[in-house]
Every structure is written in structure tokens, then in C-alpha cells.
Amino acid sequence: MLVSYNWIQKEYFKDKLPNPQDLVSILTHHAFEIEQIEKKGDDYLIDVDILPNRAHDCLSHRGIAREIRVILDKQISEKKFSIPSNSPQLDDKLSVAVDAPNLCPRYIGRYVRGVSVGESPEWLRHKIESIGQRSINNIVDITNYILFDLGQPLHVFDADKLEGGAIIVRQSREGERITTLDGEDIKLTTGTLVIADDKDPLAIAGIKGGTKAEVDRNTKNIVIEAANFLPVNIRKTAQRVGIRTESSTRYEHEITSELASEGMAIATALITEIAGNSDTMIGAPKDIYTTKEDQKTVTVSLEKINSVLGITLLQKEVEDIFTRFNFEYSTTENKTENSVSFIVTIPYERLDLRIAEDLVEEVGRIYGYQHISDVLPNDIDFSPKINKLFYYTGVIRTALIDEGFSEVETYTFTNQGEVEIANPLASDKNFMRSSLLKGLSASLELNAKNLAVVGISNVCVFEIGIVFEQAGEHTSLGMAFRNPKVKVTKAKEKEFIENTLKILTDKFGVIFSGVITELPDGGAVVEINLDQLIEKLPEPKSYDQILYTTTQAIKYKSFSVYPFIVRDIAVFVPENTNKEKIEEILKKNGGELVVREPELFDTFTKTFDNGETKTSYAYKLVFQSHKRTLTDLEIGKIMETISVALHQNTGWEVR
């Protein structure tokens, strides 16, 4: 949020504030991080990073001024606005209705007759422009001034443009549209909260006004709006319509409904003063306050404050800090424990103060964290707590890697399962997985296609992950095996999984068992409820087994970051030709760019019409460089060289 140094100084403090650079340092140490400070004419603009927990009360100049008051222990002067006593009161016919009270806890509407819309006075225009806003007219500038000074968003409608003289807070109906003040035509999703008259939407509630009841130079009569809306609804609506405004930012971070009446009072006073004339008449506010806020109280003991902060503050020191915050409080004494407790009444705007620890934090930051010495705790056992699940998943992971398995991580989101996601990231990721088997099956298929690239003969993978069922979630172990290069039966693949389960059973002393599924395209998978299995294992005494046990010496070999190219070549050779001779020619003529052993993927014997019998050998060659991207032309030349070399042998024929 951009804060004007002069605005803070002139509006809120009679005493001279520290210079802008020193003030920035003070705010950084006690309240907020400062993104930037920039000199603008005779003023300084300070970009304050207001975190969400303080957006309730500090997205305004008054909020920042109050923080400065507490930190520097200075008196603050807040202007009091009131409607002139001689302003005529109007018995208007404005009606206000809130049809969606769950989305609008408070709405105040006020009719003002006889205003003059024009340029703003110099002081108001200067205020608005000092923080990078554009002056529009006196009415709009007043609402923007209150927004940035007080933190309460306001809106003003041209009363003569309202159908039926009514303001209705309701949800939009099917097919309704609105043209915003920026000229954007928006089709409203059914259920969008809007401010409407008897016929059409006038504004997207809390976000953006529409052109239908826009205030312009011809406006004479107005309706002032001061309201509060449900934060989560404002955020979702702003995201849906693609509009974020200063108003929506404040509403979605939640502000107190009590602020609306103060904003209305200031707006009425300033409009009467700046845009009023002898004909101006003011209607009574129509205030619909569906759920009145209760002022919270929080109790915290002096002992609690000192214990959490690790210091020894006196009762008077804590009372002084609460007084600087302008907190109302009372004290109670516990003579048995020789302790005093503070019962603090929390201001409405401090929505971040709800528990004792919140007050402890406030005391700590104003006292100054830099004044709190580092003290190492005594008599604390620093030995790590052994997490049984973490320990055994680590040990099981190591055991499977020792058996030649590779670990994979598959998607938690899937297109089927027992637990559906309310707001999925994609249409095919709308469930939480209820099993690891689907992901492991996909992993088998994907890796089987790329065996030649990685230079292995089979796919042997496992996953340890959480699965989600209606009854709850648990950790599962899934294992999968497939050998597509060798003509093995499904029974052999299933047998491999069975043998692995037996190895784990022998190693850990509990039975690793599960239903082994044989996949239609080859491969076998199994899944085990790891939570249930680990419950049967003994409690571990230390992490030594997974921290200090090394299974084997591993040498790192860098991999290429450049893409590979795969080519197939098949050759007929006389029946008794040794295939090793073929492979030697392939490697010799392929050169260093052939990064894997030639993979024999097909062979058969054929007798030709001339009675000659030959055997066909088909190989897959993988080309890759560690220095550059290979081209098809380059690989084509190498394949031509290989073909020529093969043809030089009597009776050999490249297919």
C-alpha cells in the first residue's frame, strides 16, 4: 500500500515525526516491511507491505498512523466529522433491502438531495493525486479519500437513475449483465452478489460500479453506500469476473462492519461541505445491520507474557503498552499464584487479536524484539523423536532399492476415486487417488517404451504414497514389474513380485502380502496398506539404520541434457552368422554417438525361393550427444555408413 508521509504528518500528528528514512526503519523493526520509499515533490511515498493478518486495520493512512502512534508513543489527532447543524433533514422515499444477509452483514444507504458535481477543491485533489490516484470529480474523490484514509470502501449512485427509488442487495439472476464504469460488459454468473434497483444490477457488490447509475456532471441527487460484505465471496467473485480493485482488496481481507457507519458519517459531512449548496437536504441513513458484531475480550496473564517472551516485564510496562494501543483493560490478581491478569477489550477493527498469544506478540513487538536476549533453554532433551512411519518407510525404501527397484512418484490427483475435489485444477484431475495401482500401471507402460534409451532390460518400480478413501487416508506401498524385452509369461512377472514380498517378509519379520494384479498388456502390480503393516513392527530406537547405512558404492555419471534419436535397422545374414559380428559393425560404424548397446528386438529365419535360408536380426540404435542437439541429416549419414559396412559382407542384405 502506498502511504504519503505528508498525509500522515499533517492529518494525524501535531508533533514532528522522524524523517522519512528513519520512520521507514522504525516501521520495519516494529510493524511492516517496506518495499520502497520514493521522493515525490515535497512528499515521500512509502510502499508498505501489509500482510493479510493486519489488512483488517492497516490498509489505510489512519491504520498506519495508529501504528506509528504506538511505536513512538506519540499523541494522535483524528479529525471528527459531523453534519452541519443547520443542514435540512429530508424525509426521503429511498428503500433499502438486503436479500442476501449471509453475504452482506451490513448495508447503509443514505439519500442526499441537491448536490453540485464538479472539480474537487485543491486539498482533496492533492491528497488523491499524491498516492497515484486520478481525480475524477468531487463526489468520487471524497469516496476515494475515505477509502485510503479510513479503509472503508464507499460507492455513490445517481438517485435519479434508480428504477423505483430502491436499493436491493441480492444475487444476480440468470442472463443478467452489467457494464462497469470502465466500459467492460460482463455477463454475471447466476448468484453473483450485486447492488440493484427494482430492475437491473447497478454494481458488482464490493468490487466495481456500473454505468447505469453513474454519477456525472448532471447528477443532482445521490445515494451514498457504506457496507460490508463476506470476504470469501468478494475474493471468489473478483477472481471470477477478473476485476480487482482497492475496494475488493479491503473487503476480501475482511474489515469490521462498525467501520461502515463511520465512513458514512465522514462521507455525508464532506459531501455537504464540498458539494452541497443551499438546496442540499440529507435523508436519514437506512442501516440494515443483520448480525451486530460483539466486541471481543481477551485475557492474558503477566506470567504468560513473560514466559512466552522470555523476559521479565513489570505490570506497569505492560499497562503502558496497552495504553499506547488505546486498549481498554482491567486487571485481576491471583494472590495464590502471585500473578496478575489483564482482561483486554479488543477494538472492533483489530480482527487479528483473538487469543492470549496475539496480545503477547503485540507486547513483544512494541517492547522491541531487539531487546530480548537469546537464552538457551535448560534441561531439554534434544534427541530426536523417532517417527515410526518415517523410519520404516525409509528402511523399506532402501531395501527395495537394494533389490533393483526404482522409486517413482505419480499424480495424487486422478480422474476417478472415492474423494472428489471441490475445485479441481483440471477436468481429468477431479478426484484424490484411492489406490496407487493406476499410477504404477501407467509408469510401467511409459518406461517400457523407453528401455533402450535408459539402457535397461525391464521396468521395476515402487511408490510409497498417501491414498484417500471415504473412510480416511493412509500410506500405501505399491510395487510393479514388467519385462517387455524377453518372452516371459505373466506368471513369471507375478513370480518376481511374490519373491520380492518374500524377501521383505524375511527382512522385517512381518508378512508383506497383497493381491497381485496381472496387467493385460504385461506386467504385475501389488499394493499394501503400509500403515497397518508398520503398526506390527517394533518401535525403532534410533535413525542410525537409515542415516548411516550405505547399501553400495555409487558412482555418478553425468547424463546428457540434449535429446536422443532412435533408429531401427534390420539385416538378413546367412543362417549360421554370429550376431556378435553384426553388433560389432553397428558399434564401430555408429561411433561415439551410439550411447547404448545395440538392442536386438526381433529375429526370425526365412527360406527364400532360391532355397537359401537366412536369419533376420533387427536392432534399435540410440544416438545422443553430450555437447549438442543431433540432426536427422547427421544421423541419416551415420545410418548410411552402417548400411554400407553391412553390405560389404557376402550374403548380407539390409532390409
Report the CATH number at residue 160: 3.50.40.10
Least confident of 137-141, 156-160, 419-423: 419-423
For the segment 414-463, what is each residue's pLDDT rounded down to a tens digit? 988 888 888 888 888 899 999 999 999 999 888 887 776 666 778 999 99
* CA 329 remoteness from chain centre: 38
For the segment 378-397, what is each residue's pLDDT rounded down to a tens digit? 777 767 788 899 999 999 99
Write out the three cell numbers for 107. Answer: 448495508
Same domain, 167 and 145: yes
For residues 379 and 157, the model is more confident at: 157
Any domain includes 457: yes
Same domain, 95 and 244: yes
The pLDDT value recorded for residue 560 is 83
Same domain, 274 and 183: yes
Q: What's the chain's average pLDDT?
A: 91
Tell me: pLDDT of 573 over 80: yes
CA distance 448 to 463: 17
The pLDDT value recorded for residue 66 is 96
What is the residue range of 570's domain?
565-654
CA separation, residue 333 to residues 133, 160, 303 (Å): 52, 62, 12
The pLDDT value recorded for residue 157 is 98
The pLDDT value recorded for residue 291 is 83
Chosen domain end from 289, 305, 329: 289
Most confident of 84-88, 342-346, 487-491, 541-545: 342-346
The pLDDT value recorded for residue 549 is 54
The pLDDT value recorded for residue 79 is 78
Q: What CATH number should be reported for the domain holding residue 61?
A: 3.30.56.10
- Give the mean pLDDT of 505-510: 92
CA distance 442 to 448: 10
Any domain includes 164: yes
Same domain, 136 and 235: yes
Any domain includes 188: yes
H or E segment to which residue 265 belongs? helix 258-274
Residue 87 pLDDT class (50, 70, 90 cuts):
low
Query: Residue 167 carries which DSSP code?
Result: E
Same domain, 411 and 516: yes
pTM score: 0.65
Tell me: pLDDT of 474 over 60: yes
Chosen domain end from 315, 343, 371: 371
Any domain includes 81: no
CA separation, residue 32 to residues 2, 49, 50, 148, 198 (Å): 13, 6, 6, 18, 45
CA distance 453 to 597: 10
Closest CA to 467 of 442, 501, 428, 437: 437
- Give the mean pLDDT of 210-226: 96
Same domain, 569 and 542: no
Q: Calculate the CA dihedral of residues 486, 492, 497, 503 and round it to 10 degrees.
A: -100
Please answer whether residues 63 and 57 qualify as being in contact, where contact means their C-beta atoms are separated by less than 8 angstroms. yes
For residues 419 and 247, the model is more confident at: 247
Any domain includes 615: yes
- Give the mean pLDDT of 646-655: 88
Any domain includes 381: no
Residue 489 pLDDT class (50, 70, 90 cuts):
low
How many domains are contained in the chain? 5
Same domain, 320 and 266: no
Residues 6 or more apart whose Cβ sits within 8 Å of residue 350: 56, 57
Chosen domain end from 547, 573, 597: 547
Same domain, 145 and 204: yes
Least confident of 376-385, 489-498, 561-570, 615-624: 376-385
Start-end of H helices in 464-614: 490-508, 530-535, 544-547, 579-590
Any domain includes 17: yes
The pLDDT value recorded for residue 337 is 66
CA distance 293 to 163: 32
| Single-letter residue type at 609 | D
- Give the mean pLDDT of 298-321: 95
Please answer whether residues 112 and 142 qualify as being in contact, where contact means their C-beta atoms are separated by less than 8 angstroms. no
Same domain, 305 and 282: no
The pLDDT value recorded for residue 599 is 83
The pLDDT value recorded for residue 302 is 95
CA distance 29 to 25: 6
- In sequence order, the β-bridge partners of residue 334 are 339
CA distance 328 to 313: 20
CA distance 11 to 339: 41
Q: What CATH number should be reported for the domain holding residue 647?
A: 3.30.70.380
Same domain, 482 and 599: no
Same domain, 253 and 301: no
Start-end of H helices in 51-180: 55-58, 61-72, 122-130, 138-150
Any domain includes 196: yes
Same domain, 245 and 123: yes
